[in-house]
Amino acid sequence: MGRRATEREIALSAIGQIAIPVTELRRAVEFYRDLLGLRLLFEAPPGLAFFDCGGVRLMLDRANADGARGSSIIYFRVEDIRIAHDALESRGVAFDDAPHLIHRFPDHELWMCFFRDSEKNNLALMSEVRPSPRI
């Protein structure tokens, strides 16, 4: 086993897991698996379910759902926000808004749209759109 990092060497840089409180685990699993198309990794008693989000684990946690609403917003990166929006909407996902421009950077635009899961947690799609090369 290698040398352990010191406090000064520790730097957080990647998300390994995001926990979302849910009140009805079965309904939440169906939303994330069937409507969003995330791959269910496993479920663990008494009320946990884990999904793979491109190498980041998403944990649904019924045990910690204390009735308080809200969570951190999870931004799902997509290549084409309009296609992703239309696909999810066709599966029954209700969006709060349509894809819209958030900010213009010198080399790309940032687009987002927001929706809620079955437990009223806020989620978003985001896409960094690069301009097409001009001929």
Is the pLDDT reported for residue 64 higher than 80? no
Look up the CATH number of domain 12-129: 3.10.180.10
Q: Is pLDDT at 65 greater than 60 in this prediction?
A: no
Q: Is the pLDDT of residue 36 over 50?
A: yes
Given pLDDT bands bounded at 50, 70 and 90, which one contains residue 72? confident
76: which strand partners? Answer: 125
Give Cβ neighbours of residue 26 (< 8 Å, ≥ 6 apart). Answer: none
Each residue's pLDDT tens digit, 7-26: 456 665 678 889 899 999 99
Pairing relationship of beta strands 122-129 and 74-77 according to DSSP bridges: parallel
pTM for this prediction: 0.69
Write down the domain spans for the chain.
12-129
* CA-based nearest residue to 73, from 26, 118, 18: 18
| Strands across the sheet containing 109-116 | 74-77, 122-129, 109-116, 100-104
pLDDT of 133 above 50: yes
What is the DSSP code string of 81-123?
HHHHHHHHHHTTPPBSS--EEEEE-SS-EEEEEEEE-TT--EE
Query: How many whole angstroms separate alpha carbon 132 and alpha carbon 135?
Result: 9
pLDDT higher than threshold 90 for residue 92: yes
Cα–Cα distance for residue pair 66/54, rounded to 1 Å: 29
Per-residue pLDDT tens for 111-131? 999 999 998 888 999 999 998
Residue with tokens 């685990």: 25
